[in-house]
Structure 1
C-alpha cells in the first residue's frame, strides 16, 4: 500500500507540529495522535521531569507504532524516535521572561524547518476564586498562561511558522465561557477571551489559520490531585450534567485538534467538545 492511496490519513505526514503543554493531558494525546499521523513532534512544558517522562512515553509509542498499523505513515519519517520527537522546557507563567522563553522555544522547534502547526494546550494549577474574593493576583494566576501567553506566542509566529493556509495555530478555551459554574466568573472570562482571540488572530495572522477548541470536563491527570472519594463524586456529578452521561477523554479531544490542523479551510472557529454539557 502506498502513502498516496491514503490521502485522508496522510495530511500531516512530515509536518512539524509543536504542542505547547504537550507533557500531559489533552496536549500529550494531541502529540501522540499527530505522531501516529506521520508528523514530526515537538512538545513543551514547564516541568523538566514531566517533559522527560512524556518524551520517553512518546518515543516508546513511536517504536511500537512503527511496527503496527501506522507503519505506512511512520515510514515517512526516515528518522529515529529521538529525532522525530523532541522537547523543550518553556515557562509561560512568568511575565518577566515569557517573551524570551517563547522565542527560544519557537527557535528550537523550527531549527530544521518552519513549524507547520502550533497547538496551545498549556495551563497551570490555580484556585477557583469567586468574584467577591477577587484580587489582581488571582486574576493574573488564572489569565496568564491561558489567555495572555497565546498572545505572546502569536507575536512571534510569523518568524518561525509556515504562514499559509496549510499552517495553523490552535488555542484552547473551555465550555465555561458559554456555561459558567457558580463562582467561576474569572475562569469564564479567561475562556471567553481565548475564543475572541482566535477570531482576532485569524484576521491578524492571515493566511495562517487560527482556531479554538473549547473542551468540556475532561478526565486528565489533574483529577489525580483530588482525594479518590471526592474525585468519584465530582466525576459522577459531571457525568450527570451531560447528555452523553460521560466525561471527556483526552484521546477523544485530540480529534478536534487534528481536525483544526487537517482542514485547510477552517479558521476563526470555535470547536466545542463537551458531551452535550451546554444542553443540560
Structure 2
C-alpha cells in the first residue's frame, strides 16, 4: 500500500499563473510548483525570455511536458489594465493560484532627484499592476479558500533605507492592499511575501561596484551571514498557496535582516 501524500500533494493538479515567472524568485516558484505536480503558466514582458524559460523548465523537468506554458504581458504600459485582462484570458480556463513576483529595476534615487514622472513610473509594476490584477481575478480564479493570490513586497517596507523613499512608499502600501484584498476577494485568499535582499536580475540597474559594496555590508549584518537565495525564498510562496488557513498575512524571509 502506497504512503499517503496529503501534504506534499497539495499543489498536485493545480493551475498556477506566475507573473514575473521567467527569472529570479518567480522562476524558482515555477520550478517548485512543477516539482509539486502543478501546471504552470509564466509571464513577463519579454516573449523571448519566456520561451527560453519554458524550454529551460522542460529540460529540467521532462515529465512536465504539457504542464508549462507562457505568455507576455507588459505591466509598464499605459494599457496596463487591458494587458492584464488579455493575459488572464489566454490562460485557458480557471486558475487555482496567481503568484505576482514582477518588478522593474529598483527605483533607488535621492529624494531631491524624484519627479512626479519617476514616482508614477515606479508605481506601475509594483503597485498599480497588483491592484488591477485583483480587480479582474474573480472571473479567472476558482472560488473558495483553496485558491489564492500571492503578492510580493520587500523588507524595506518594514525597515527603511536611505534614498529608498519612493520604493518604500509602494512596498509598505502593499501591506495595506493585501489585508484589504483578503476581505474584498474572500473567500479567495490573498497573502504577501516580503523578501530581504535576494540576488536576482532586479539589481541589474545598480552599478556593479555599488552593488558589491551594498551586499558585502549586508552580509556582515545578517544573522545568517548570507544573502537570500531565490530557491529558498520560493518556499514562502508555496506555503502561502498550500495553507488554506492563511489570508491577509505577510510572510517574511530576510535572513534575520529585521533583527539588526
- Equivalents in 1 of 2:88, 2:172: separation in Å? 26
Q: How many residues align?
A: 260
Q: 58, 72, 76: which is aligned to 1:89?
A: 72
Map 1:70-109 onto structure 2 (within 5 A). Answer: 81=65, 83-95=66-78, 97-109=79-91
Alpha-carbon shift at residue 107 of structure 1 (Å): 1.1
CA contact 1:212–1:269 (8 Å) conserved in 2: yes
What residue is the counterpart of 2:123 in the other structure? 143
2: CA distance between counterparts of 1:8 and 1:172? 24
Once the two structures are superposed, residues 6-57 of structure 1 have per-residue CA deviations (whole angstroms, 9 ceiling, x without a partner) of 1111000000000000010000000110110000000000011211111111
Task: Quote how far apart the aligned CAs of 1:226 are.
Answer: 5.3
Structure 2 counterpart of 1:6: 5
Match of 2:194, SS state, is strand
Aligned to 1:265: 245
Q: Is the 8 A contact 2:25 2:230 kept in 1?
A: yes
Q: Distance in 1 between matches of 2:253 and 2:145?
A: 24
More displaced stretch, 124-133 vs 98-107: 124-133
1:5-154 correspondence to structure 2 within 5 Å = 5-63=4-62, 66=63, 81=65, 83-95=66-78, 97-109=79-91, 111=92, 113-154=93-134
* C-alpha distance in 2 between matches for 1:27 and 1:197: 20
Residue range with higher mean Cα deviation, 100-109 or 233-242: 233-242
Give me the whole-angstrom Cα distance separating, in 2, the residues matched to 1:150 and 1:44.
14
Structure 2: segments with no counterpart, 5+ residues: none
1:180 match: secondary structure: coil
Question: Cα distance 1:188–1:227, how it changes in 2: closer, same or farther (>3 A)?
Answer: closer
Q: CA RMSD in A?
A: 1.6
TM-score, normalised to structure 2, is: 0.95
Tell me, in whole angstroms, the C-alpha distance in 1 between the residues paired with 2:121 and 2:23: 20
Deviations 1:193-246 (A, max 9, x none): 111111000000000000000000001134456565544323211212311111
- The answer as to whether partners of 1:129 and 1:138 remain within 8 angstroms in 2 is no
Shift of 1:183: 1.3
TM-score (norm 1): 0.89
* Structure-1 separation of matches of 2:235 and 2:109: 32
Give the unaligned 5+ runs of structure 1: 67-79
Correspondence for 1:192: 172
| Residues in 2 aligned to 1:218 and 1:55: alpha-carbon distance in whole angstroms | 22
Aligned to 1:277: 257
Query: How far apart, in 2, do the equivalents of 1:203 and 1:101 lie?
Result: 25
SS at 1:41's partner residue?
Answer: strand
Q: CA deviation at 1:98?
A: 1.1
Secondary structure at the counterpart of residue 27 of structure 2: helix
CA contact (8 A) 1:126 1:141 kept: no
For the Cα contact (< 8 Å) 1:130–1:186, is it kept in 2? Answer: no
Q: Is the 8 A contact 2:227 2:255 kept in 1?
A: yes
SS of corresponding position for 2:161: coil
